[in-house]
Structure formats: C-alpha cells, structure tokens
Amino acid sequence: MYGLPEERNRSQPAEPEDTALRDSFEATIAADERIEPRDWMPDEYRTTLVRQIAQHAHSEIIGMQPEGNWITRAPSLQRKAILMAKVQDEAGHGMYLYSAAETLGVSRDQLVELLLAGKQKYSSIFNYPTLSWADMGAIGWLVDGAAIMNQIPLTRCSYGPYARAMVRVCKEESFHQRQGFEILHTLSHGTGAQHEMAQDAVNRWWWPSLMMFGPPDDESPHTAQSMAWKIKRFTNDELRQRFVDICVPQAAVLELTLPDPDLRLDEPTGNYRYGEIDWEEFKRVLKGDGPCNRQRLEHRTRAHEEGRWVREAAAAYAAKRARAEERLAA
C-alpha cells in the first residue's frame, strides 16, 4: 500500500532544505490536509512521529500484561471471554501502530529491539500492578478512558496512517471503557466488600491515570512543536482537564469517590480543579523505577524470545509460498 522506505528515500531530495518542498509541507499542514508516506517531510517531523507512534505501539503491547494477569482468574466464563477479547484488541492496536510507524521508514523489528533495550518508552501507567479483579474495572474506566480522551484528537493528526489507525483503535477503546465502567458498577453496587474493592482500585489508579497525559505543558518539551505540526491537537493539560471533568460525574454514578480532597468545581469555568500530581513519582516511573518496570520488560523479552521460532517459521513459510508462486508464474 505504501512506498518502501528505500523507494521513498530515493525520491526524496538530498537537500531537505529545499524550500519548495518545505513550503508544500507547511501548506498541507496549514490547510488541515494529511501528510502521506510518499510526501516530503522534515526529518524532525518524521523523528517525532516515529517516537510517538513507537511509544504508543509499545504501550499497547506492554499494556496487555496487567490485564493478561487476570484472564485465568476472571470471576465467570463471560467475564473471561470479554477480558480475552479486550487483551487481543490491544495486540491488534499494537500491530496497526507498528504498521503506521513502518510507513516512516523504520521496521517493527528495529522498534521492538529499541523497546527491549530500554531505549524507547511505553506509557507510565503499565508499570503499576493489578492487585484485584476490580483493577480490571478501574483500568477500563480510567486507563482506557484517558486513552480515548488522548486518542480521539489523534484521528485528526496530520500524518495520514497514524490518524487512520486511530479511528478503529478509538472504537475499540470505547468498548473497553464501557466494559470497565460496568465491572466497577457491578462491584460498587454489590456487597460491602465488593464496594470496598472497587474503591480501593479507583484509589490506586486515579493519579497514575492523570499522569498518562504527560508532563504539565510548561515542562513538556515536545508539545509546542507537535501542536504546530498538528500531530497533537490539544496540550497535555487541556486533555487532562477534560478527563477530570468527565470522570467526576461518572464517579458519582458509580457511587465511588475520587481520591483527591482538593477536587472542587470552579463555577466560572465549569472545570473541576484538582490537587497536585506527584510529578516526582512520574519521573521515577519514566526512569525505570516504578513498581513493575523490570517485571514488564523481562516478561516482554521472554515472550519475544519464546516466540522467535514462530516468527522464523512464518518467514520460512512465506518464502516457500513466494518461490512456489514464482515457479507457477514462470
């Protein structure tokens, strides 16, 4: 569907400063049209997209672990089937995203290597443990809810393949968010112990969910340029605020409390003001020192090694079929 990186590199000018190409790129962005893989783009635009899309893809794949942990312990067959489907969806999202990144001239293998070497990030949220079944509800409601808030604007991202991948991802995330809400609703309206379990999960996932949106705007090195390129449509703080505003009434329906004594409605703006986020914790998790960082990467590395024979067998089979087709065509 898309040009191979080698092909595209040949068609690109040796001099990226070529003003006509740069002007055409800027005009496309200004007109709110899409940049496509064969179009000329500044190196920094390409690098930013690879960084963000790769981090996003890795998050989907590493994000399978906290929930995968509960598949064998789901409280009913129906819950188990739903959770399995959700975790499989995350794998699918990872695949669309690696494919979108490949249109920028990097291979999935390269990106996976960078992840396993600790040279590319994945979302901070997946470095927290899932301690009870209620965590499946809190992840769906809060983590998938935050993900949708961040990803819906990405369907309007200036880079075509990323924007298109986001359309389907968002539809599936929306189902994930509702299933999480439903799990929490069932628990919070169940026995006293179940209500307590739901509240405990929300207490643990609330603050890390707010961190998912990234550092505050005045400490976010990439936001200004990504907004100018229309990769990001809203800043980290804008999306975080929208998320808080949506969650407050939903928490009331769930009959659960958000663990923030400073949360209050600011009448003039209609926004909920929230307390101080522990940015030191966020930085620690990003540096690899969160509760589950080591475990997540070790698990991913092991799964990658154990899956090597499958990748080799699939490649050998594809080569064999290609040879057979060549023979038939000759």
Q: Is 242 in the site for ligand BYC (CB under 6 A)?
A: no
Per-residue contact string for residues 199-218; x = within reach of ligand BYC by CB under 6 A: ------------xxxxx---
Site for ligand BYC contains 260 (CB under 6 A) = no
φ/ψ of 103, rounded to 5, equals -65, -10
Beta bridge partners of 159: 35
Number of residues that bind ligand BYC (CB under 6 A): 28
Torsion of CA 112, 115, 121, 126, to 10 degrees: 90
- Name the residue nearer to ligand BYC (CB basis): 142 or 254: 142
Task: Tell me what percent of the chain is helix, strand and coil, each rounded to the nearest 5.
Answer: 70, 0, 30
- Interaction with ligand BYC in 161-200: which residues (CB under 6 A)? none
CA distance 205 to 43: 37
Cα gap 259→65, rounded to integer Å: 25
In the complex, minimum distance from the CB of residue 226 to ligand BYC, in angstroms, rounded to a whole number: 5
CB of 84 to ligand BYC, least distance (A): 13
Stretch that binds ligand BYC, among 10-18, 20-28, 70-78, 222-230 (CB under 6 A): 222-230
Among 130, 179, 209, 236, binds ligand BYC (CB under 6 A): 236
User: End-to-end CA distance of the chain, in Å?
Assistant: 25
- Contact of 126 with 62, CB cutoff 8 Å: yes
- The answer to whether 271 and 241 are in contact (CB under 8 A) is yes
Residue 35 DSSP class: B
Side chain identity, residue 261: P
In this chain, which stretch among 30-38, 39-47, 121-129, 311-319 interacts with ligand BYC, using CB under 6 A? 121-129
Q: Which residues inside 55-94 make contact with ligand BYC, applying CB under 6 A?
A: 55-56, 59-60, 63, 90
Among residues 54, 70, 100, 144, the one that binds ligand BYC under rule CB under 6 A? 144
* Residues in touch with ligand BYC (CB under 6 A): 51-52, 55-56, 59-60, 63, 90, 121, 123-124, 143-144, 147, 150, 211-215, 220-223, 226, 232, 236, 286
